[in-house]
Structure 1
C-alpha cells in the first residue's frame, strides 16, 4: 500500500491525493447506494453541467494562486453575457446572424476583460486587499446589471447558438470541449509562460518577487484581466445553455469555485497549485451532486455535504502529508 501511494505521488503529485481519495469515495459510495449511478446518463449529465462551474473556477484559480481572490466572478460572467445578448438584440434578436453573434462574443470578452483590468489595477496600484476590491467590484457589477435590466432577464437568441450549450461534437458535449480547451490553456500558462511562474512567486512572497526584478503590478493586472476573460467565456456558455441572461444566474457558484480550488490542492495563501487536481475536484463535486439527485436528496443537503467533503479531504491530505514527512525524516 505504501509503495502504491509513493508511486501515485511521484507520478501525479502529492496535491492529487485529496481529489483522488474524494473521487474514489464518491464512486464507491454512490455506486452502492444509488441505482444507475455508474451509467452513461450520469456521466452525460455531469459533462453538460460541469463547464459552467468549471469555467468560473478557472477564473477564480489565478487570483487564488497570487494569494488573492476574485469575488466578482459570477457577476462579471453575467454582465459579459448581457453585453453579448444586447449586441444580438440590436442586430435582430432571434434573427441575428452568426457575425452578430461573433460581435456579441467580442463584446462579452471586452466587458469581462475590462472588469478584470479595473480590478487588477485597483489591487496592484492601491495595495488594497483583494477581498475588499473584488467585493466592491461585485457590488458594482450587480447593481449596474440590475439597473440596466431592471431586475429582469434578456432572452430571444438565434437557434444556432443552442448547440454551444447543449450540442455535441464527435459525441462529446460542446461546452465540455470548450472547458477542456480552457483547462489546457491554463495548464500551459502555469507551466510554460513567465506569467505563470511570476504569479506563483507573488503568491509565495510578493516582496521577494519585487526584489528579484519582477513587475508585480503588471502581473497582478494581467492575472485579473485573464480572470475576467475566463468569466466572459463562462457568461457566453451560460447564455447558450439557458437561452437567457440574468444578473443573478449562477450566483450560488461563487463559494463553490473556492471550494473546488481548495479541494484541488490550491494553497489558501497562494503560491502553490496545479490545474489538473482542480479539474478532478470539479468532477468530484458534480458527481456528488448527481448522486444525491439520483437518491432524491434535497439540493440543500448537497451543499452541506460539499462542505463536509472539503473538511474530510483536507484532513486526509494533511494526514497523508504528515505521514510521508515523518517517513522522510526517519530516513
Structure 2
C-alpha cells in the first residue's frame, strides 16, 4: 500500500489525491442520480462553461501563493471587457474589423495589467493587507464601470468574435483551448521560472525571501500585474460568450475561484500549491454544478453548496494536518 501511494505521489504529486478523489466521487454520485449526467451533452456543456471560471481562478492563484488575495478579479475582467467593447463600438460596432478587435484586446490586457500594477505597488510599498487593497480596487472598478455604463450593458459585436466563445476546433471548444494554454503557461511560469520560485519563497516567508536577495517588491508587483492580465483574458472570453458586457458579469465566480484554489491543494497562507490540481478541482466544481442542475436545483442552491464545500475543505485540511502530526 505504501509503495502504491509512493508511486502515485511520484506520478501525480501528493496534492493531486484530493481533487482526483473528489472527481471520482462526483462522477459516481451524479452518475447514479441522473441518467443524463454521464453523457456527451453534459461534458460538452462543462467544456464551454469552464473556461472563464478557469482563467479567473488562475488570476486568483498567484496572489494566493504569495500569501495575498485579489478580490478585484471579476471587476477587472468586466472593465477589460468594457474596454474591448468600447474600442469595437468606436470602430464600427458590428462592422468593426479584426484590427479593431486586436487593438481592443491589447487595450483590455493593458487595463488588466494597470489594475494589478496599482494593487501590487500599494501592497509592495505600503505593506497594506492584500484583502483591503484588492477590496478597494474592486469597489473602485465596480463604481467606475457603473458610472460609465449607467448600469446598462454593451452588446452588438462583429460576428467573427463569436467563435472565441462558442466555436470549436477539431471538436474541442475554442475557449477551452484558451484555458488549457493559460494553464500550461501558468504551470511553466510557476514551476520553471525565477518569478515562480520567488513567488513560492515570498508565500513561505517574505522576510526570509528578502534576506535571500529576492526583490520582493518587484515580485509582488509582477504577480498582481499578471493576475490582472489573466483576469482581462477572462473578460475577453466572457464578452465573446455572452455577446455583451456589463458590470457584474461573473460576480458569483469570486467565491468559486477561492474554493477551487483551496480544493486544489493551495495553501491559503501561501507558499505551496500547483496549477494542475487546481485545474482538476475546477472540473469537479463545474461537474458538481451541472449535476445539481440536472437534478432540478437552481443556481442559488448551487452557490450555497459551493459555500458549504469551502467550509468542508477547510475542516478536512485541518483534520488531515492533525492526523499527520499524530502519525509522526
Q: CA deviation at 1:314?
A: 4.6
CA apart distance, 1:161 = 0.3
Shift of 1:253: 0.6
Gap runs ≥5 in structure 2: none
* Cα deviation code 1:284-331 (max 9, x no counterpart): 00000000111111222212222333344455555556656665x4xx
Query: Within 5 Å, which residues of 2 pair with 1:21-170?
Result: 21-170=21-170
Aligned partner of residue 266 in structure 2, secondary structure? coil
Inter-partner Cα distance in structure 2 for 1:313 and 1:149 = 38
Residue 265 of structure 1 corresponds to which residue in structure 2?
A: 265
Number of residue-to-residue matches in the alignment: 328
Secondary structure class of the residue paired with 1:9 = helix
CA drift of 1:209 comes to 0.5
Q: Distance in 1 between matches of 2:321 and 2:188?
A: 27
- TM-score, length basis structure 2: 0.96
CA shift in 2, pair 1:279/1:59, >3 Å: same
After superposition, the Cα gap between the structure-2 partners of 1:275 and 1:174, relative to the gap in structure 1 and judged at 3 Å, is same
Deviations, residues 16-69 of structure 1 (Å, cap 9, x unaligned): 121111111101100000122111111000000000110100000000000000
Q: Is the 8 A contact 1:50 1:176 kept in 2?
A: yes
The corresponding residue for 2:231 is: 231
Report matched runs for 1:159-308 at 5 Å.
159-308=159-308
Q: Deviations over 1:70-95 (max 9, x none)?
A: 00000000000000000000000000
SS at match of 1:267: coil
**Corresponding residue SS for 1:154:** strand
Aligned to 1:16: 16
- Going from structure 1 to structure 2, the CA distance change for 1:116 and 1:230 (only over 3 Å counts) comes to same
Structure 1 CA distance for aligned equivalents of residues 187 and 55 of structure 2: 13
> Could you tell which deviates more after superposition, 9-18 or 180-189?
9-18
Structure 1 unmatched runs, 5+: none
Deviation at 1:255, TM superposition (A): 1.3
- Tell me if structure 1 keeps the 8 A contact 2:266–2:272: yes
**1:125 touches 1:217 (CA, 8 Å); kept in 2?**
yes
Distance 1:107 1:252, change over 3 A: same
CA distance in 1, matches of 2:116, 2:254: 16
Determine if contact 2:262/2:313 at 8 Å carries over to the other structure. no
d(CA) in 2 for partners of 1:163, 1:238:
12
- Describe the superposition over 1:154-206 as per-residue Cα deviations: whole angstroms up to 9, x where unpaired: 11100010000000011100000000000000000001110000011000000
- TM-score scaled by structure 1? 0.95
Give secondary structure in 2 for the equivalent of 1:245: strand
- Distance across 2 between alignment mates of 1:249 and 1:64: 23
Per the alignment, do residues 170 and 100 of structure 1 end up closer, same or farther by CA in structure 2, a change over 3 Å counting?
same
Secondary structure of 2:248's aligned partner? coil
Cα distance change of structure 1 residues 5 and 309 upon mapping to structure 2, 3 Å threshold: farther
In structure 2, the CA distance between the partners of 1:312 and 1:140, relative to structure 1 (3 Å rule), is closer
